[in-house]
Amino acid sequence: MLLGVNIDHIAILREARKVNDPDLLEAALIASSLSDQITIHVREDRRHANENDLENILKYCKCVVNLECSVDMIEYALKYKPHRVTLVPEKREELTTEGGLKLDSKKLKENILKLKQAQIEVSLFIDPNLDDVQKSKELNVDFIELHTGKYANIYNALYTNINQTSYAINELMLEKNKLTTLFNEELVKLKKSAKLADDLGMKIAAGHGLNYKNVRNVVNITEISELNIGQSIVAYSVFVGLREAILRMKALVKR
């Protein structure tokens, strides 16, 4: 299974002081030498990576570069031409990408076409349900990325102490048996969505909230060929260094 490393959280550290430290390009060079793909998300508010990062990373890194952006930001994709664009929903007030794309917009359809005409591979970040997989196929994309955020949140509620902290999610303050049912249901949704996408001939990635503890179940879904992981790798790298953090994740995603 392939590993894509999302380095946005290194850029978040840089933006805390705005003195180009840590240097995102240095992180990208390390990540690109150890993984199969690197991802940055250029958000409207530039809270982490920006278009200069995209330009430099494309110039100096010898791996697949996946730009995450909203449908309103594709001008940078068309200008710098990354290998892949993953279209994601974006809300200014959110901490991170909260749900999958809404697939019915005219703008989405038009912008997919523009990206494809520019020979950029297009992936859609979608919630794991059969309807959205089918709609993605109708939108003529070759790639989807299944949102694993809900799976990860339920995992945390079930197997960590998060419900005893201020980071608890209200809807997941449930008894263990209810959480176990939800957890199994979410895994089934991921498996069925991956199976349908595979049957429809699309490539399948997955990501969001995956970490060293919860990644195994997703690795076991054989139709998924790539995982995109950021926050947990960068968090662990604070203790062991970026190189070691990536290598340990790589060992876990190996089939």
Binding positions are 6, 8-9, 17, 43, 48, 96, 209, 230-231
CB of 85 to ligand PXP, least distance (A): 11
Q: Which residue has the tokens 């608890």?
A: 168
Sole binder of ligand PXP in the list 134, 212, 231, 252 (CB under 6 A): 231
Size of the site for ligand PXP (CB under 6 A): 19
Sole binder of ligand PXP in the list 101, 122, 125, 127 (CB under 6 A): 125
Closest CA to 88 of 115, 118, 126, 121: 126
CB of 87 to ligand PXP, least distance (A): 9
Q: Which stretch binds ligand PXP (CB under 6 A): 24-32, 155-163, 223-231, 240-248?
A: 223-231
Q: State how far the Cα of 194 lies from the Cα of 224, in Å rounded to an integer.
A: 6
8 CB contacts (<8 Å, ≥6 apart)? Answer: 39, 40, 41, 48, 49, 230
Q: Which stretch binds ligand PXP (CB under 6 A): 20-28, 29-37, 177-185, 208-216?
A: 208-216
Cβ distance to ligand PXP smaller for residue 80 or 236: 236
- Does 208 engage in binding with ligand PXP (CB under 6 A)? yes
Cβ distance to ligand PXP smaller for residue 102 or 178: 102
Which residues participate in catalysis according to the annotation? 41, 68, 208
- Does 128 engage in binding with ligand PXP (CB under 6 A)? no
42 to 81: interface string for ligand PXP, x by CB under 6 A: --------------------------x-------------
Binding residues for 1-deoxy-D-xylulose 5-phosphate: 8-9, 43, 48, 96
- Does 228 engage in binding with ligand PXP (CB under 6 A)? yes
Q: Which stretch binds ligand PXP (CB under 6 A): 133-141, 161-169, 205-213, 216-224?
A: 205-213
Q: Which residues bind ligand PXP (CB under 6 A)?
A: 6, 8, 41, 68, 86, 88, 96-97, 125, 145, 207-210, 228-232
